[in-house]
Amino acid sequence: MAEANALTIEIPVSKALLPDPGPIRPSRSEVHDIQRGRLLRAMAQVVSEKGYLGVAVSDVVAKASVSRRTFYEIYDDKEACFVDLVSFAYSALTKRLETASSNHDKAIDLLERVVGIYLETLSNEPEMARVILVDAYGAGQNSIAQKVESAKKFEAAILLLIEKLKSEGEIESEVSPDVEMIVGAIRSLVTMRVAVGETNKLPELRERIVSFICNSVGMKEN
């Protein structure tokens, strides 16, 4: 299952949620993107090793093999780099979930697929899972704002699936479940697993989470 959902990008820290630096290219914008990719990967790795509060810019530039001058040409400070990392990772994860839900399968099948890909992506990338679910809370309001924005996108995806369940007659049309509460409960469960080092076990939660969502929205018994 994990192999089927893996992306082709291969980088030391995160296979799917960070940019591939690629070979050095002559254009200025491409070199900028390559250096940014190196810094993001380095930030992810050192944060996973030390925690956000324990990381210094010197750690990041050393891991990325770039100069401090290069770092400050791209970012104002450590927080700006970390917020960019969180934003990039969440955007990549959101795109994967949107792709998973963008077909005409039955809603329950789409729900199982979306939940499965969410859990498998985080499980395959434990360093990034910890960065975006645990360490992001210690990096200030900008980082937390990225988490809130991501949660809203996840809520929107679940809401669309709920509306599809209604249109298919699987739940009553007048049902208005609290999607924010549903997503918050899921995120809390997943975050606890990541925080205690059980990221590899996340895929085992798929059936439990799908069942929780179905029960929360009052899905009819077959």
Is 197 inside any structural domain?
yes
Q: How confident is the model at residue 96 (pLDDT cuts 50, 70, 90)?
A: confident
Residue 43 has pLDDT above 90, yes or no: yes
d(CA 130, CA 191): 8
Give the largest Cα separation in the chain, rounded: 63
Is 124 inside any structural domain?
yes
> Under a CB-based contact definition with an 8 Å cutoff, are residues 153 and 114 in contact?
no
> Under a CB-based contact definition with an 8 Å cutoff, are residues 133 and 191 in contact?
yes
Task: Give the total number of structural domains in the chain.
Answer: 2
Mean pLDDT value of segment 148-168 = 80
**Top-confidence residue, 198 or 98:** 198
Residue 6 has pLDDT above 50, yes or no: no
Mean pLDDT value of segment 140-144 = 74
Is 222 inside any structural domain?
no
Is 179 inside any structural domain?
yes
Asked if 72 and 104 sit in the same domain, the reply is no
pLDDT of residue 4: 40
Residue 58 sits in which domain range?
7-77
**Top-confidence residue, 88 or 7:** 88
Asked if 93 and 30 sit in the same domain, the reply is no
Mean pLDDT value of segment 104-109 = 82
Asked if 149 and 178 sit in the same domain, the reply is yes
Asked if 54 and 139 sit in the same domain, the reply is no
- Digit-coded pLDDT (tens) for 45-90: 999 888 888 999 999 999 999 999 999 999 999 999 998 998 888 8
pTM score above 0.75: yes
- Digit-coded pLDDT (tens) for 15-39: 456 666 555 455 777 788 889 999 9
Asked if 84 and 72 sit in the same domain, the reply is no
Domain end position, chosen among 49, 77, 105: 77
pLDDT of residue 74: 95
pLDDT of residue 17: 62
Asked if 42 and 131 sit in the same domain, the reply is no
